[in-house]
């Protein structure tokens, strides 16, 4: 984890089965500055262990754009963990 003690405020969204596991669609969280999306996911997986097994079948988004797991986060970012999409 980064050595800076600053924190950032993030909005995290859950959809589909992830929403059912976590129990809600959205939350707001203080998190260490410059943490990555992967570290954010690990935070939730530690809290809801069932999430971890879905990790290989998820993609992440940051501010409504698909994002790599190593994307560093900034205050105000909206992050979502997206299960395989099944629209249509």
Partner 1 sequence: MSTPVHGDLYKLVRDPIDLVALARHVRAPEDGALVTFDGFVRNQSHNRPTLYLDYEAYESMALAKMREIGAQLHEKYRIHRVAIVHRLGHLEIGETSVFIAVSAPHRAAAFDACRFAIDTLKRTVPIWKKEYFEDGAVWADGELPPAPAATSRAKPAS
Give me the least distance between CB of 41 and partner 1, in Å please. 13
CA–CA dist 37, 3 (Å, integer): 17
Q: Is residue 52 a contact residue for partner 1 (CB under 8 A)? A: no
CA–CA dist 70, 37 (Å, integer): 6
CB 36 within 8 A of CB 48: no
- Choose, by CB under 8 A, the member of 12, 40, 60, 79 that binds partner 1: 60
- Choose, by CB under 8 A, the member of 11, 16, 21, 33 that binds partner 1: 16
**Hunting for tokens 């997206």 — which residue is that?**
82
SS (H, E, C) 36-74: EHHHHHHHHHHHCHHHHHHHHHCEEEECCEEECCCCECC
Q: Is residue 23 a contact residue for partner 1 (CB under 8 A)? A: no
Q: Residues binding partner 1: what is the number (CB under 8 A)?
A: 27
Q: Is residue 15 a contact residue for partner 1 (CB under 8 A)? A: yes
Residues that bind partner 1 (CB under 8 A): 13, 15-17, 57, 59-61, 64-72, 74, 76, 80, 82-88
């Amino acid at each position: 984890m980064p050595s800076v003690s600053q924190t950032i405020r993030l909005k995290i969204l859950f959809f589909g089965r992830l929403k059912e596991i976590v129990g809600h669609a959205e939350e707001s969280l203080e998190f260490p500055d410059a943490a990555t999306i992967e570290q954010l996911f690990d935070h939730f997986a530690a809290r809801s262990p069932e999430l971890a097994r879905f990790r290989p079948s998820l993609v992440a988004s940051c501010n409504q754009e698909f994002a790599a797991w190593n994307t560093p986060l900034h205050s105000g970012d909206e992050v979502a963990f997206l299960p395989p999409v099944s629209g249509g």
